[in-house]
Every structure is written in structure tokens, then in C-alpha cells.
Amino acid sequence: MAELEGLTRYIAYIDYDRSLMLWHIATELCYQEEASVGENHKEREFSKIISDYMMYLLMKQPKLMSEVAGIGKIRFRDTLAEAKKFFRNREF
């Protein structure tokens, strides 16, 4: 239960669109990492589908996902730039 409480800051104290992007990145990293393991295949696939769909809505239907239409695209662009810099510096 303590692990779940630690995740609250990534849900309750952050903007909805930013939270979606953070969880999408986390889902993608876990999905790719665990692909070689082969366990929990159905759960992994379902999580990936939901995550991809939520990002689709954020990017293609911003009025449904954010109070400020277009902010998701701006944050996505900024997050993508930060992720590229992060992975480039670590030679992934």
C-alpha cells in the first residue's frame, strides 16, 4: 500500500495532461523492458493500448482532454525534446 501512496504525487499534484504524458512514458518503458520476459502478456498489451489511446486523445482531441486546448501538444513537444536530450546524454 505504501508504494501506491508514493504514486499519488504523479496523479493528484500535477496537471492532467502532464500526468498522462508521464504515465505514457512509464508505460512505454515498462512495455519495452518486459517484452523480453514474456510474462503478463495480456496485461502489458492492454496497458499499452490504453496508454496509446489516451495520448491519441490528448494530441488529436485536445478539447476532450484539457481545459486549455493545445496545451497538450505544447507539453508533448517540450517533453519529447527533454526525453531526446536525456537519452542522448546516456547513449541509449
Count of domains observed in the chain: 1
pLDDT digits (tens, 9 = 90+) for 43-74: 889 999 999 999 898 888 877 776 655 676 77
Which cell is 40 given? 503478463
Write out the residue range of the structural domain in which residue 37 sits: 2-89
pLDDT digits (tens, 9 = 90+) for 9-46: 666 777 777 888 888 988 988 888 866 666 778 888 99
Question: What are the angstrom distances between the C-alpha of 62 and each of 5, 8, 11, 20, 47?
Answer: 29, 24, 19, 12, 21
> Distances in Å between the alpha carbon of 31 and those of 35, 49, 91?
6, 11, 20
Q: Does residue 31 or residue 92 have the better pLDDT?
A: 31
